[in-house]
Amino acid sequence: MSITTPSRTVSQTTAISQKPLNKRLVTGAALTALAFAAMASMQSAHAADKAVIYQAFQSIQYLPLYVAIDKGLFAKNGLEVEKVTAGSGAAGVAAVIGGHADFSLQDPMTACLANLKGASLVHVANVVAGVPVWILTPPDSTLKSSAELKGKTVSTALPPSTTTYLLQRLIKEQNIADVNMNTVQIGTELAPATAGRADAATVYEPQADQGIAAGFKILYAFPKAYPGGYAFSAIDTLTSTIKAKPQMVAAFVKSIGEAEALIAQSPETARAVAEAEFPSLDKKIVDAAVDRLIKGNIYATSPEISEQAFRNALDLQEYIGNIKPGTVTYANSVDNSFARDAAKQVASK
């Protein structure tokens, strides 16, 4: 929520009394000090930069952003941050390009695709550094491995969706024949499997732990397939914003880095923020999801985006055919300078 600080004026009128001179000097000095203090307070009140970030969705995977907001880390670093939910990654990126937002949070490949069409976006901070995707089977399923999905139906999100792209590549790489994909709205993937219309479901969190709580079993865990990390969700901004407002970008990235460090150091804080952000979900599900994402190294522990993590994300897009090999590179997509500075500051505390 954006917070607008009302302007204030301070005036002091001092009448010279008949007190002895030394007392008048003391009084005058005190009033001068008060005036300077008031001016400093006014400057401090107006010093905070305002930043708008569009997130693709309200997602438990985006917890570092919520921790930075809810625990006052942005405010501590001189920022007033407004969070807007775009409804899709493409809408968030469009908001940045159109000047409605300073930052967006979504799959970094969405920004890369926009750059191929003439945009000038750069990734400045990692938020989701692993693949938060699992294939679940219903309680009565006899399937023991992904190879046994041959001839089966798997419910998965409507494209474009990284879950579906990952599933498609898994099927091809493991030569799993005749898999039928039942595509549904994101967040509803468990429903067909629960109703017997699918043999498995490809899901994010918190759907993964909702399924597990209902007796579903993990058939395949995508986080284990990418030990080098995966730039799953990152924060983007325009190159023009970096040039015009470097201090604002630095403060934003620093706050994200502090939030990521806080999640790693204090899982109970992470759980408390997640519970507040998702009040309609069962707290046990929220806590289990946060713990799984922490233990699986899904939340970034630093805002830096490694070349391997970026390459893993880019490989999938090249495999699907969304991006032609050689048209997108780590060097022309990532600016780690703010993240490196933020990591150093966090480490020095």
Nearest to 237 by CA among 12, 2, 52: 52
| The CATH number of the domain covering residues in 48-130+229-347 | 3.40.190.10
Alpha-carbon radius of gyration of the chain: 25
Show pLDDT as tens, one digit a residue, over the chain (349 residues). Answer: 333 333 333 333 333 344 444 444 444 544 444 444 544 444 444 457 999 999 999 999 999 999 999 999 999 999 999 999 999 999 999 999 999 999 999 999 999 999 999 999 999 999 999 999 999 999 999 999 999 999 999 999 998 899 999 999 999 999 999 999 999 999 999 999 999 999 999 999 999 999 999 999 999 999 999 988 999 999 999 999 999 999 999 999 999 999 999 999 999 999 999 999 999 999 999 999 999 999 999 999 999 999 999 999 999 999 999 999 999 999 999 999 999 999 888 888 7
134-225: CATH topology is D-Maltodextrin-Binding Protein; domain 2 (3.40.190)
Evaluate whether 48-130+229-347 and 134-225 have a shared fold. Answer: yes
**85 vs 101: CA distance, rounded Å:** 11
Contact 298, 338 (CB under 8 A): no
**80 vs 114: CA distance, rounded Å:** 27
Contact 100, 54 (CB under 8 A): yes
Q: Where are the domains of the chain?
A: 48-130+229-347, 134-225
